[in-house]
């Protein structure tokens, strides 16, 4: 749990505090994670949309001669970008991770780390060169 969750007033009073606490009763069945490719796609969409809306807002503000219009167009673009990239839409979960079952993991031996006994030391001229840089 995070610092704020552990130290909040509700947590102090003995009530569990999480995102699930503030959602309707039907919401615990919702899945709140996004796979790696989905995160990358959301990041790319966000960057492209913000750039397009920034250029569009600048051009609209310049043509109309209105700073207020520029800010409104960009604010609308940021809002639309947020509505598209922040929620966990199904197209962001096309590549879920398949985790190995714990019973299957116990069957396979863990890799052993070997440490070589030879240590490569600095020679005197290497050490002097290293400190003279």
pLDDT tens, N- to C-terminus, the chain (133 residues): 444 444 555 555 555 555 555 555 555 555 567 888 989 999 999 999 999 999 999 999 999 999 999 999 999 999 999 999 998 888 888 888 777 777 777 777 777 777 665 555 555 555 444 444 5
pLDDT of residue 47: 97
d(CA 20, CA 87): 16
- pTM (2 d.p.): 0.55
pLDDT of residue 14: 57
The alpha helices in the chain, defined as continuous H runs, are: 3-6, 9-12, 36-64, 67-85, 102-107, 124-132
Contacts of 88 (CB under 8 A, 6+ apart): 31, 32, 33, 34
Are the CB atoms for 49 and 80 separated by under 8 Å? yes
pLDDT of residue 43: 95
- What pLDDT, in 10s, does the model give residues 42-69? 999 999 999 999 999 999 999 999 999 9
pLDDT of residue 1: 46
């Amino acid at each position: 749990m995070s610092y704020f969750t552990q130290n909040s007033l509700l947590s102090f009073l003995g009530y569990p505090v999480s995102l699930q606490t503030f959602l309707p009763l039907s919401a615990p069945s919702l899945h709140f994670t996004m796979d790696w490719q989905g995160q990358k796609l959301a990041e790319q969409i966000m960057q492209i949309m913000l750039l397009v809306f920034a250029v569009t807002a600048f051009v609209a503000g310049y043509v109309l001669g209105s700073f207020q219009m520029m800010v409104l167009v960009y604010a609308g673009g940021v809002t639309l970008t947020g509505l598209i990239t922040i929620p966990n839409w199904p197209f962001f979960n096309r590549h879920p991770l398949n985790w190995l079952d714990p019973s299957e993991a116990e069957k396979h031996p863990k890799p052993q780390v070997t440490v070589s006994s030879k240590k490569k030391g600095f020679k005197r001229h290497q050490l002097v060169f290293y400190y003279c840089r």
